[in-house]
Structure 1
Amino acid sequence: MWQKLVLTGRLTEARFTSRAWPAHRKLRAVLTDAGVDLEVHEDRMPAAAAFAARQQLDGNRSIDGADIVTRVRNRLVHPKEAQEPVYSVKGLVTETWLLTRHSLALLVLRSIGYRGSYQDLSKTNKWVGQTHLAPWA
């Protein structure tokens, strides 16, 4: 995110580190720029979709993959309650890990200029060898 937002001049260092640009906003910006789908598909990630449905956002925007990755990460790293909501949704931590791994792989591929096919690392129910064209290709 630093490379894509600060080193390119899109944000200043002060703006990048300010509360005006929280982690979910930075992640959403770089994934959106890469053309990555941020929608949480209930058929592929039922636990993440259930978690998203229970979360509240300001305005009319729905919870997306960037929100889920950063919220789950923050709740695991900075717990505030004895029984965190992330543990009450069976499979949420696993699905968040899959989503994070998928997003990171796409961002790495984009950063090296890759324009071919890739395997969606967020899916667990796919055919062996099933690939998709990179979103930015």
Structure 2
Amino acid sequence: MKPTAGSVAGFIAGVTPARRQRDADTLIGIMSAITGHDPQLWGTIIGFGSCHYRYPTGNEGDMALLAFAPRRSASTIYLTSTQAHADALARLGPHKTGVGCLYISDLTTVDETVLRGILEKTYAFAMGGGDENVRITVTG
């Protein structure tokens, strides 16, 4: 995946419902503060910074260091793994998870301090080069 040309503000303006726009603005503030990067569109994903990843299986690609997507039903926050955050997720508030995704339907219902901690840990993992399960090289 690569960043695409496009206006983040223009993209967010077209997101529905309005609550998702509000949550996107909040997530942009949090992720920008953590990474020091401006948001970029990666298709319909809003990402911050970039890296190249490679699994021991040989699968590899490019992704943002931190990213989320404002989907109609929930904000999807991309993590390297939700298992690495089990303790924090228990304290977060209402959410759902997938293998590497955190789904929040209303950001005002979760503990923002806990969410920041999860995002900081995810960013630190990427900046540290990953682990034996995935190697990460920061590219931007």
TM over 0.5: no
Normalization by structure 1: what TM-score? 0.34
Q: By percentage of residues, which structure has more strand? A: 2
Structure number with the bigger relative contact order (C-alpha 8 A, sep ≥ 6) is 2
Superposition TM-score, scaled by structure 2 size: 0.33
